[in-house]
Amino acid sequence: MDFLFTPEAISSLLTLTFLEIILGIDNIVFISIVVGKLPEEKRKGATNIGLLLALVLRIVLLFAISWLIAMQSTLFEISNSFMQVAVNGQSLILFAGGLFLLYKSTKEIHEKIDHAGEKSEQVENKAANTMGKILLQIILIDAVFSVDSILTAVGMTSGIDGALWIMITAVVISIVAMMWFAHPVTRFVHKHPSLQILALSFLILIGFMLIAEGAHLSHLEVFGASVGAIPKGYLYFAIAFSLLVEFLNMRFRKRKAKL
């Protein structure tokens, strides 16, 4: 295991771990929303179990990396006068994941607005038996996010001795960090209703980005114009700016309430 302690390996591990944590923001936002359907005492357990299952899934995908890379092969093509596309397995996963996030986020916003006057006890009783459903949603959406993050990790560690173990170590550290961050984030989000709507809006944005990424991987061209990749920096800047504005609003409301 000496290869893990070379300067190149340590540098790759630190960079990859940081990247995995940043990419995990999507997961934390999604988890903070879906576990809110559970009674408060069950949220922490559901979060931990979901992230542990996600950890197992990512490690399995790392060992099956050759299969994951093979999903870049074209499954079928569509070519006509206005559209050309070569669909592969990765693009299908991202497209399906994006549609799921759009559906889930829109549905959650609808429920929070239409059922805003319901008693919390009624909501908790309705969600008491949804633990398995919520865990399944966490695993499914993590599988979508894992495709992109694992392929990025492979590109970063290509040619380095012990690349697989570096990637596994980075994934384990990032999941542990997510478990540590997820609980306070969940509590904070559900303490402030305006943040719940904002978080759901982030998920809609992420869902759109996944659909665009799937179209890009399929080399989609419509009337001769190709769909390009959306830089993730734009997405994270939009999220950070929106959060900054919301925190300023929260502080303003708090100060106003004291007057």
How many C-beta atoms lie closer than 10 Å to residue 146's C-beta? Answer: 23
Structure tokens at 192: 């402030």
Q: How many domains does the chain have?
A: 1
Question: What six digits make up the tokens of 237?
Answer: 């800047």
Angle at 170 between CA 167 and CA 175, to 5 degrees: 125
pLDDT tens readout for residues 182-216:
888 878 877 777 788 888 888 888 888 888 888 88
pTM of the model: 0.75
Q: Inform me whether the pLDDT recorded for 49 exceeds 60.
A: yes
pLDDT over 80 (residue 178): yes
Task: Read off the pLDDT of each residue in 213-226 and give the average, rounded to a whole number.
Answer: 85
How long a stretch of residues is the chain? Answer: 259
Quote the percentage of the chain above a pLDDT of 70. 86
CA distance 170 to 162: 12
pLDDT at 159 over 70: no
pLDDT of residue 5: 64
pLDDT attached to residue 116: 55
Residue 125, pLDDT > 60, answer no
CA gap 33, 115 in Å, rounded: 16
From its phi and psi, is residue 223 left (phi > 0), alpha (psi between -120 and 50) or beta?
A: left
E-strand spans in the chain?
Answer: 74-79, 83-88, 221-222, 225-226
**Burial of 106 by CB count in 10 Å (0-12 exposed, 13-18 middle, 19+ buried)?**
middle
Cβ proximity of 49 and 171 under 8 Å: no
Range of the domain at 104: 2-258
Q: Which of 62-66, 125-129, 158-162 has the lowest mean pLDDT?
A: 125-129
**CA–CA separation, 140 vs 158, rounded Å?**
27
Query: Are the CB atoms for 35 and 47 separated by under 8 Å?
Result: yes
